[in-house]
Structure 1
Amino acid sequence: MTAHRPAPALPRVGAEKRSHRERVADALRAALIAGELREGEVYSAPGLAGRFGVSATPVREAMLDLAKEGLVDAVPNKGFRVTAVSAQQLDEYTHVRALIEIPTTVGLATTADPADLAALRPVAREIVDAAAAGDLIAYVEADIRFHLGLLALAGNDHLVAVVGDLRKRARLYGLDALVRAGRLTASAEEHLELLDALLSRDAQATHTVMTRHLSHVRGLWASPDHP
Structure 2
Amino acid sequence: MPKQARTSPEDSPEDREHTYSGPEPSVPRPVRRHSVRGQILDALRSALVGGDLVPGEVYSAPALGERYGVSATPVREAMQQLAREGAVEVVLNRGFRVAERGAAELAELAEVRALIEVPVMLRLARTVPAERWAELRPLAEATGAAAAVGDHAAYADRDRAFHRAVLSLSGNQQLVAVADDLHRRSQWPLVSAPAVRRADLVADAAEHTALLDALTAEDLTVVRSLVEEHFRGA
- Return the TM-score normalized by structure 1: 0.75
Once residues 134 and 52 of structure 1 are traced to their aligned partners in structure 2, the CA distance between those partners, rounded to angstroms, is 23
* Aligned pairs for 1:178-217 within 5 A: 178-179=197-198, 182-217=199-234
Contact 2:58 2:98 in 1 (8 A): yes
- Once superposed, what is the RMSD of the aligned Cα atoms? 3.0
Residue 221 of structure 1 is matched in structure 2 by none
Task: Could you tell me which runs of 5 or more consecutive residues in structure 2 were left unpaired when the two chains were aligned.
Answer: 1-22
Query: Structure 1 residues 19 and 213 mapped into 2: Cα distance closer, same or farther (>3 Å)?
Result: same
Sequence identity (%)? 44
Higher RCO (C-alpha 8 Å, min separation 6): 1
- Report whether the alignment pairs 1:150 with 2:169: no
Residue 224 of structure 1 is matched in structure 2 by none
3-state SS of the aligned residue for 2:196? helix
Q: Which has more radius of gyration?
A: 2
Once residues 204 and 158 of structure 2 are traced to their aligned partners in structure 1, the CA distance between those partners, rounded to angstroms, is 14
- Return the TM-score normalized by structure 2: 0.73
- Which of the two has greater helix per residue? 1
Contact 1:33 1:168 in 2 (8 A): no
* Aligned pairs for 1:1-227 within 5 A: 4=25, 19-49=35-65, 56-170=72-186, 171-173=188-190, 176-179=195-198, 182-217=199-234
Cα deviation code 1:159-197 (max 9, x no counterpart): 222222222333344683322xx3321221211221222
Cα deviation code 1:31-73 (max 9, x no counterpart): 3244442221112334444655665443322112112222212
Once residues 61 and 151 of structure 1 are traced to their aligned partners in structure 2, the CA distance between those partners, rounded to angstroms, is 30
Q: How far is the alpha carbon of 1:75 from its aligned partner?
A: 2.6
Q: Which amino acid aligns with 2:25?
A: H
